[in-house]
A and B are shown apart, each in its own frame.
Chain A
Amino acid sequence: DVVMTQSPLSLPVTLGQPASISCRSSQSLVYSDGNTYLNWFHQRPGQSPRRLIYKVSNRDSGVPDRFSGSGSGTDFTLKISRVEAEDVGVFYCIQGTHWPPFTFGQGTKLEIK
């Protein structure tokens, strides 16, 4: 199974400041169709997760443009250009290339300093 490793696991950020989360996979996530199925989810406290980014860098509908995804192969990054209060929660990466199983990262908890 592909192991997804996120860092940091805890991310205290000042409002208005940028934030960055790393996600590394144990093998390349490039699929035979040329796509890289690396997605990012956000879970606010007490809520269901929702997807922010799919296939490395594509924002889902309604996701603010302060969120951006990048990376290739085995190294990926989620960046928030200016953290807002509503960004509090846990961010997960997930790979959909070598499934089953789908595998999630451990989660990165973002809090406001």
Chain B
Amino acid sequence: EVQLVESGGNLVQTGGSLRLSCEASGFIFSTYGMNWVRQAPGKGLEWLSYISGGSVTIYYADSVKGRFTISRDNTKNSVYLQMNSLRVGDTAVYYCVTGLKGARENYWGQGTLVTVSS
């Protein structure tokens, strides 16, 4: 059974940092590009970042470039999102996701809630 399990969400003050983790199982993790997508309360979906299977290719949305860093450890079947300089507008449920392009299988985690307060 495929599983993506996010963790690390918490309540943090503006300007603070958090590190989100996503642990995968049930598929060959190292062969899949991984994404982070977020959803602000009552809002739609926003793509944030992508990392290729071997970490060679990394992309960010403009909204998080310079503040967020994606990384992965294939020995631990995990992908991470280091979030710095957090803003109230970063409050959202954060999901790790595969298959956004449509070329491979699509898997989602259950999400982890990040709340940034002023």
Contacts and interface: CB of A to CB of B under 8 A. Distances in A.
Interface of A: 35, 37-39, 41, 43, 48-51, 54-55, 60, 90, 92, 94, 96, 99-107
Interface of B: 35, 44-47, 50, 59-62, 95, 99-103, 106, 108-111
B97 to A, nearest CB: 8
Contact of A104 (B44, B110, B111): B44
A96 B50 contact: no
Nearest to B99: A51
Contacts of A49: 45, 95, 108
B101 A102 contact: yes
B101 A107 contact: no
Contact of A48 (B61, B95, B99, B100): B95
A50 to B, nearest CB: 6
B45 A50 contact: no
Given A39-B100, A96-B101, A104 B109 contact: no
A100 B59 contact: yes
B106 A102 contact: no
Contact of B102 (A39, A104, A106, A107): A39
Contacts of B35: 102
A37 B95 contact: no
A45 B21 CA distance: 24
Contacts of B45: 41, 43, 49, 92, 94, 104, 107
Nearest to A6: B44
A7 to B, nearest CB: 14
Contact of A37 (B59, B62, B102): B102
A48 B46 contact: no
Given A94-B100, A100-B61, A102-B35, A54 B106 contact: yes
Contact of A51 (B46, B59, B106): B106
A96 B103 contact: yes
Given A55-B102, A100-B50, 14 more contacts: A35-B102, A35-B103, A37-B101, A37-B103, A48-B109, A49-B108, A51-B106, A54-B102, A54-B103, A96-B101, A100-B59, A101-B47, A101-B62, A102-B100
